[in-house]
Amino acid sequence: MAKLDISKYEKKMELRNIKMEDIDDILELQKRCFPGMDPWKRDQLESHLKIFPEGQFCITYEGKIIGSCSSLIINFEEYDNNHTWDDITDEGYITNHNPDGDNLYGIEVMVDPEFRRMKIGRRLYEARKELARELNLESILIGGRIPGYHDHADSLTPREYVEEVIERNLYDPVLTFQLMNGFVLKRINAHYLPDDVASEEYATLMEWNNIDFRQKAKRQFLTSLPVRICVIQYMMKKIESFDDFATQVEFYTDVASNYRSDFAVFPEIFTTQLMSFLDEKSPSLAVRKLATFTEDYLKLFSELAVKYNVNIIGGSHFVEEDHHIYNVAHLFRRDGTIEKQYKLHITPNERKWWGIKPGNDVHVFDTDCGKISILVCYDIEFPELARKVTDMGASIIFTPFCTDERQGYMRVRVCAQARAIENQIYTVISGTVGNLPSVENMDIQYAQSGIFAPSDFAFPRDGIVGECSANIETVVVGDVDLELLRRYRKTGDVLQLKDRRSDLYEVRWKKK
């Protein structure tokens, strides 16, 4: 019998890293794997290969790509538990890849439908596990689809569906596979991938722990809980209508949104710009005319907060209640909800010209970026208030202000920086500039807005996160880190909150 040529029976399968010349094939593969979902863009895949080529794998069968997976390295503690796919991948470009991180995050696995049941997915997962071991990474994380959920969405919640799959009462092609490969469920995230209709936009956060992980001698610590703040130093100038005011406000809200800010901060009583077309010379009557725009003001800012996806500290506005005028600051959350804080300490100028009445309560507000408080202008000059809101859990105090000359401005600034130091907290001041010659008592303005931190080695020199140039129309954008603040309150060189002599004194709030 002639010698059998076994080469004709060979079918070569190869696991390797993706190359630039594979991109067209990967794009075609994705169309076959996920019809109806948004495919990769070429520049996204090119970015993956430039930034982290070791984390991009494919499997070929007889030279044809039949499976692939993509990943990046992160420090997962830097991300919100409710993160989305866009958050974790920087919208698919992985420019947030951190080579010093501890976690490999898998962002996609594809297997050609024609070649399923050939353990292609398992080979890709094993490649990731081996990479995690080689790079000494603590774990692999995956935001997993649950494509079978849409068949049960009418009768089961996402949690109930996942529990049924875990108990093996239901089969899900992705979740079941991940469980079989040693991944455990950490949580369920909503709105993870908007075009994942089959999963109803839900995803399971799954984790595989590397038992060979060796704790690094010195962990790298980067920003863990960043909050981006855009402070608007607002120009007071004559306008002709509320629409003019709205146009100027929307412009700055758009600017804050373009910088992906979490907060946009406007100054105190900047709505007095509306007085420039009200044609009322008496300040006490003008302020009551101004208060008639309250509903327009609330509607405008609430819509802008939602439209531009930014929490807005809406400066402050004069509001009439029970025939009295109050100076009220508003928080417009990006989910459409609104809160308000009355100014508690009224300056002699406000009483004399406008007859402003004080509020009686101080509040701390929950936001998607932690607890915050608003102390309007003069209020920041009374240390008891800042201590009170700090004890109530605030991490950031926002201070909209309006001062006519440098001495008044310096009182606000120096006190804001003092409050940051003595309470181990971030403070933010936002003021008006320019002039309104036709408006009595609002003719000149002086400001240099800024973002301030405690004074210690963990924070910027001089305790200044960022500040505007004095007396010009501009913004300053800065990041504050709430996790850094939390750690500093425990391990700083000085610990003002911890070292207070509460056995000797206290701040006590009298209820009216």
Residue 510 lies in a domain: no
Backbone phi and psi for residue 252, each to the nearest 5 degrees, phi listed first: -70, -30
Q: For residue 488, what pLDDT is reported?
A: 84
Rounded to whole angstroms, what are the CA distances from 105 to 98, 101, 193, 271? 11, 10, 15, 47
Residue 3 lies in a domain: no
Do residues 254 and 199 both lie within one domain?
A: no
Split at pLDDT 50, 70, 90, the class of 217 is low
Do residues 315 and 418 both lie within one domain?
A: yes
pLDDT greater than 90 at residue 81: no
> Which domain-ending residue is among 209, 243, 270?
209
Catalytic residue among 340, 343, 357, 388: 343
pLDDT greater than 70 at residue 23: yes
Q: Which residues pair with 356 in a beta bridge?
A: 325
> If you average pLDDT over each of 66-80, 412-426, 450-464, which comes out highest?
412-426
Q: For residue 375, what pLDDT is reported?
A: 98
> Which domain-ending residue is among 209, 239, 254?
209
DSSP result, 319-336: EEETTEEEEEEEEE-TTS
Cβ within 8 Å of residue 200, ≥6 positions away = 149, 150, 153, 158
Number of neighbouring beta carbons within 10 Å of residue 351: 12
- Concerning whether 58 is annotated as a catalytic residue, the answer is no
Backbone phi and psi for residue 320, each to the nearest 5 degrees, phi listed first: -100, 125
Do residues 203 and 238 both lie within one domain?
A: no
Catalytic residue among 58, 230, 377, 468: 377
Q: Is the pTM of this model over 0.85?
A: no
Number of neighbouring beta carbons within 10 Å of residue 336: 10
Residue 78 lies in a domain: yes
Do residues 205 and 261 both lie within one domain?
A: no
Task: Determine the Cα–Cα distance for residues 435 and 338; give it in Å rounded to an integer.
Answer: 30
Q: For residue 483, what pLDDT is reported?
A: 87
Split at pLDDT 50, 70, 90, the class of 491 is confident
Do residues 204 and 233 both lie within one domain?
A: no
> Which tokens in the block code for residue 200?
């109803």
Do residues 398 and 257 both lie within one domain?
A: yes
Residue 446 lies in a domain: yes
- Comparing C-alpha atoms, which of 279, 282, 229, 288 is closest to residue 257? 229
Number of neighbouring beta carbons within 10 Å of residue 97: 19
pLDDT greater than 70 at residue 5: no
Identify the burial level of 322 via C-beta atoms within 10 angstroms of its C-beta, where 0-12 means exposed, 13-18 middle and 19 or more buried.
exposed
Catalytic residue among 268, 350, 381, 467: 268
Q: For residue 7, what pLDDT is reported?
A: 62
- Concerning whether 415 is annotated as a catalytic residue, the answer is no
> Which domain-ending residue is among 147, 180, 209?
209
Residue 501 lies in a domain: no
| Tally: H helices and E strands in the chain | 13, 20
Residue 1 lies in a domain: no
Give the domain range for residue 379. 226-491
- CATH number (domain holding residue 180): 3.40.630.30
Do residues 250 and 195 both lie within one domain?
A: no
Do residues 333 and 255 both lie within one domain?
A: yes
> Which tokens in the block code for residue 437?
């010659």
Asked whether 357 and 326 are in contact (CB, 8 A), the reply is: yes
**What are the pLDDT digits (tens) for 300-339?**
999 999 899 899 999 999 999 999 999 999 999 998 899 9
Mean of per-residue pLDDT scores for the chain? 92
- Concerning whether 343 is annotated as a catalytic residue, the answer is yes
Q: What percent of the chain has pLDDT over 90?
A: 76
Identify the burial level of 353 via C-beta atoms within 10 angstroms of its C-beta, where 0-12 means exposed, 13-18 middle and 19 or more buried.
middle
Mean pLDDT of 239-243: 96
The lowest-confidence range among 175-189, 350-364, 480-494 is: 480-494
Do residues 58 and 95 both lie within one domain?
A: yes
Do residues 330 and 202 both lie within one domain?
A: no
Do residues 350 and 451 both lie within one domain?
A: yes
Cβ within 8 Å of residue 77, ≥6 positions away = 224, 483
Residue 157 lies in a domain: yes
**What are the pLDDT digits (tens) for 110-137?**
999 998 878 899 999 999 999 999 999 9
Residue 339 lies in a domain: yes
pLDDT greater than 90 at residue 492: no
Number of neighbouring beta carbons within 10 Å of residue 57: 22
> Count of domains in the chain?
2
Residue 202, classed as helix, strand or coil, is coil
The secondary structure element, H or E, covering residue 227 is strand 226-236
- CATH number (domain holding residue 285): 3.60.110.10
Do residues 118 and 247 both lie within one domain?
A: no
